[in-house]
Chain A
Amino acid sequence: MQNVMEVTDLRVAYSGREVLHGVSLPVERGAVTALVGPSGCGKTTLLRTLNRLSELTPGCVVTGEVTIDGEDCMAMDPVLLRRRVGMVFQRPNPFPMSIRENVLYGVKARGGGGDHHEEVLEASLRKAVIWDEVKDRLDDSALALSGGQQQRVCIARSLAVAPEVVLMDEPAGSLDPRSTAKLEESILALKGDYTVVVVTHELGQAHRVSDYLAVMYDGQILEFGPTKQLFEQPRHAATREYLAGGLVTDASDEPAERGSGRVA
């Protein structure tokens, strides 16, 4: 087992209120790691600290160690870190541009020649399982796509810059069940080539897509291990209770369709 990222004793406070109380987490290369837990347990904060996006929030103080390939993330240029650690958000957030411009945004931001742009475009869209749906309309606005398609374009966009790690913050949070299934398909397609860390509130989804599972509660990781093992024989009673409760309500817990629109 080789870890691409390593979180050690991470503490995050917003305006003096600590929301992560010393979290440690290994992220294995090529695997899908899922973070689950009740609302407000700090899973999104943990995720946003991995690419230092939490720093954008005023009053955020981070202590502890986060490394990528052994390098200290906190000491490197955040722009360089974000080129190695991509992110997909809860709500699809395509830029108001064509599909092509969306996917190539990060590539072009980096400068360099445009020789490989077409190849990168196709490869990224294929990897995100959206190529067949958009290949004839690459120059149409990305905003014209459905919410689920937008989200997969956003995945393609983050893949286009060849990150080592892709962070996903409840990527199916605003999608209907069918779009969610497609999205899970594209997450599974990433396995092996990319390292994925996904936050989800839906335990069924974590069960289906992840190799490793971290159950969080109140700013701490309650239990971490291979997903299968955690679901079958959790070590802690609290984990068992949470996972069991989640599975029981799973059938009725499908996210309601919140519309495909973004809120400005």
Chain B
Amino acid sequence: MTAVKRPTLTGRGRVLGEPRLSRRLPAGLADAARQPDRLAFAVPLAVGFLGVVVACLALFVNSTDGIMVPLLGLLAVAVGLAAGVEKARTAALDRPALVLAVVALGATVLVSLLPTWMYGGNVNGIVHRTVVSGPLLMLLGTATMTHAIRRLLRTSPSGQDLALVPVFGLAILLGVVGYLIILAQVVVSGLGSFRFDLLATAWHQDSTARGFTYSLGFLNNILGTLLLIGLTLAFAILPGVGAGVFMSEYPGRMARLINFCTTMLRAIAMFIIGATAFALVRQAGGLDSASVLSLVVRGGFNDGTQVQPERGSYVLAAMFLAMLVMPVIARLTEEGLRSVPREIREGAVALGASDGYDLRRILLPWAAPNILTALILAGAEAAGGLAIVMFLAGVGQDGVSPLGSVTTLDYAVFATLYGPRVYIDTMRHYTFTAALLLLVLTVGLTLIAMVLQRRFARRYRGSITAQ
């Protein structure tokens, strides 16, 4: 019996020829070694590599300025010379190399003169030059390496593909190394001041006869983040999935309109929407009255005698976050539904089932992994949507209830640095602890999603078949 193999969203599809670029290296190098005169391009390759390395180091080492400017110049000279050798040998003009040389030369001149032009030669000019020359060196170095590899391995078609390696390398460098640095910072600093009782205590201020005492902790922020995620998803899931189903299953003018609106809504700054909403609410009843609308918008708590206004509410924050994440859910749902094979759709239709039944039994289960991804993304966005929450819903330090002001982990990160005086005084050592908790929460959610996704894909798409 044959195993059914077909592409799925969770599968590892591969389109290009050889699985690993590195397997092509020996053949490519052997090819280059047979024609030593082509080794002129080994020099720019080496200089380009050195340039990228130095430019990366510049992120951490302050005194690289003295190396980066000469390296840019060296790059220009090396590429230019290699192009000259190539011209002498084959009489063919290597136009890309010349362009690279000219650009590198221009960059060298620019960064050399920059401090004098813009800063009158003072120390700020030197610092800013480092900031400019780093990325320039990184990009030009990568471009030079790519071109040099193409020239070095010219006669080997398989070797030509190795020219992609520097580009991939840069992507990996920026994508992986950059994130690893941030991760290391959060984990190291966060763990340094971590105590388990921080998880079980809510920050609180008590007044005593001698003054104030403080309980330190993140319990309220953790619960607040979870509440905000939950409320946001509760508001977003039905319209999001509904819009996705409509766009996929009933394409037409109305579907395009929905698509347009949700996309535009996301593009418009949420602050503008928030300001509009505030103005509407003000007209509708005023923020100080105890109307339901005002309660939702402004929040409030009953102190035993009457409703006291709060600084904002989870419900309001969640409503706006839901508007923000709805397009993501809609788009991913649509994508999941479109990936249902035509044969399966037609098979279901031909059995005389109604659209609703097919949707429930086949289409939505099939799209479940996508919808799950969308929900996790939406949850992560809600967990990190501090700017919107602060502007629209107001934040505070303590208390977690749907109509209370919002207290989330990302607010804790912010407030330990720029929050109320007392909060900074008591919590300033715990900035990265809050960041770490947020990270653990998000990573945890993502891991759960990955496990569920795999299970759903197996269950509803049969992507792994029994023998």
Contact = CB atoms under 8 A, between A and B. Distances in A.
B348 A105 contact: yes
B462 A96 contact: yes
Interface in A131-163: 140-141, 143-146, 154, 157-158, 161
A53 B350 contact: yes
Contacts of A145: 1
Interface string B342-358: 01101111111110011
B366 A96 contact: yes
A130 B344 CA distance: 21
A93 B347 contact: yes
B4 interface: yes
Contacts of A146: 1-2
| Interface residue range, chain A | 35 or more
Interface in A168-182: none
A262 B4 contact: yes
B6 interface: yes
A82 B361 contact: no
A259 B357 contact: no
Interface residues of B, number: 33
Interface string B318-362: 000000000000000000000101011011111111100110011
A87 B466 CA distance: 27
Contact of A106 (B343, B353, B366): B353
A22 B186 CA distance: 74
B461 interface: yes
Contacts of A106: 351-353
B289 interface: no
Contacts of A158: 350-351
Contacts of A89: 343, 346-347, 350
A167 B460 CA distance: 27
B5 interface: yes
B465 A144 contact: yes
Contact of A82 (B349, B357, B365): B349
B2 A260 contact: yes
30 contacts: A51-B350, A53-B350, A79-B352, A79-B353, A82-B350, A82-B352, A86-B351, A87-B347, A87-B350, A89-B343, A89-B347, A93-B341, A93-B346, A95-B344, A96-B462, A105-B348, A105-B351, A105-B353, A109-B354, A110-B353, A140-B466, A144-B465, A144-B466, A157-B347, A158-B351, A260-B4, A261-B2, A261-B6, A264-B6, A264-B341
Interface of B: 1-2, 4-8, 339, 341, 343-344, 346-354, 357-358, 361-362, 365-366, 459-462, 465-467
Interface of A: 51, 53, 56, 79-84, 86-87, 89, 91, 93-96, 105-106, 109-110, 140-141, 143-146, 154, 157-158, 161, 259-264
